[in-house]
Amino acid sequence: MEKLDENMNILYSESKDITWYTPKSGPLRVSGLAWFEEEKLYRRLPRKPHVEIPDAVDRLADCPAGGQIRFQTNADKLIVRVKLTGKAYMSHMAATGQCGFDCYIGTDFCNVTRYELAEKEYTIDLFENRKGKDVIPITLNFPLYQGVEDVWIGVNKEAQVTPPSPYTDKKKVIFYGTSILQGGCASRPGLAYTNILSRSINLEFINLGFSGNGKGEANLARLISSIKDPACLVLDYEPNCENTMLYKSTLPEFIRIYRETNPHVPILVVSKFPYAGEIVNKQLYNDRVERLQFQRELIQELQEKGDSNIIFMEGTDLLGAYGKEGTVDGIHPNDLGFMSMAEKLEPVLRDVIKRSGISL
């Protein structure tokens, strides 16, 4: 039998061999979920937003993509206990990426949870019998495509658990986009491109990718505008716009709304990479090129009107030298594709972040 210490919010096992911690209080820290401190929910948007949002976006917000549990410990043994909720949303994606947690020690991958996909609860040893008693930094990345009702972290009873090292700055790097941003189809959570970037840029990253439903709605701009302490906003939602007209109508309005409350926050607009289908479908190519030209002209126009903190990045080469083999289905990146995206984005993103006065 187990019981919760109401003062320390630690779950103790009856045998006292393992001490269980909840991320809902210290010393564990949850990052990447912008409303977590207010609501204590593993969710990417508020439970009751102050504006109306599409039902599909509301459901996908229960998938805590980009969320991280961070702490330091000298533990010999590390266990994660998870209670999942809802359904897995990406059928052609590995279970470890959809529903699993993965574990990093510093920037080095350590392990990922493996279990039967039909299970809604699991307890997994992430490591045991670790040699040495040195304190190590731990990051656990939340699942990308299934909800998490609760999670506990277990360590051997003698172990110390302390808060993580601080970020370079309290400001957050905010991404808004599509299933590609959400992490489809990474083999595990740490290989979604925002999580890759978070291991080289010591800031909190907010992943607001909504599979098939990041369409640039005005109310999403209003909701994202309310996130405190933005270092920058990255708009990568072009692939979810079914037609060029939709993108042309939403992007200027999204930027305008965000600028009402964040007039000087750097905004980076990223265009899409080519889909494999362009090889047989000329219209896909024509649509992408038309949108590419539209984005260039829009950003140039806004810059000429005085917005010096809006930047455009052409995404044509985001998948790099291995672009033809960088996706699972011609659209969603595999791990190779995500690594290339992070490598291409990092230098541009660093320059954008510096505009917020942050020295990386």
Q: Give all domains of the chain, ordered by start, each with its CATH number.
A: 2-31+63-162 (2.60.120.260), 172-354 (3.40.50.1110)
pLDDT computed for residue 13 by the predictor: 43
pLDDT at 4 over 60: no
Among 351, 352, 347, 326, which residue's Cα sits nearest to residue 337? 326
- The predicted-structure confidence for 138-164, as pLDDT tens digits, reads as follows 999 999 999 999 999 999 999 999 999
pLDDT at 259 over 50: yes
Q: What's the half-sphere exposure (Cβ side, CA atoms, 13 Å) at 99? A: 24
Percent of the chain scoring above 90 in pLDDT: 87
- The predicted-structure confidence for 11-62, as pLDDT tens digits, reads as follows 444 446 899 999 998 899 999 999 999 999 999 999 999 999 999 999 999 9
- The predicted-structure confidence for 67-101, as pLDDT tens digits, reads as follows 999 999 999 999 999 999 988 778 789 999 999 99
pTM of the full predicted structure? 0.95
Percent of the chain scoring above 70 in pLDDT: 96
- The predicted-structure confidence for 222-234, as pLDDT tens digits, reads as follows 999 999 999 999 9
Q: Cα–Cα distance between 142 and 135 in angstroms, integer? A: 22
128 φ/ψ angles, rounded to the nearest 5 degrees? -155, 160
3-state secondary structure the chain: CEEEECCCCEEEECCCCEEEECCCCCCCEEECCCCHHHHCCCCCCCCCCCCCCCHHHHHHCCCCCCCEEEEEECCCCEEEEEEEECCCCCCCCCHHHHCCCEEEECCEEEEECCCCCCCCEEEEEEECCCCCCCCEEEEEECCCCCEEEEEEEEEECCCCEECCCCCCCCCEEEEEECHHHHCCCCCCHHHCHHHHHHCCCCCEEEEEECCCCCCCCHHHHHHHHCCCCEEEEEEECHHHCCCHHHHHHHHHHHHHHHHHHCCCCCEEEECCCCCHHHHCCHHHHHHHHHHHHHHHHHHHHHHHCCCCCEEEECCCCCCHHHHHHCECCCCCECHHHHHHHHHHHHHHHHHHHHCCCCCC
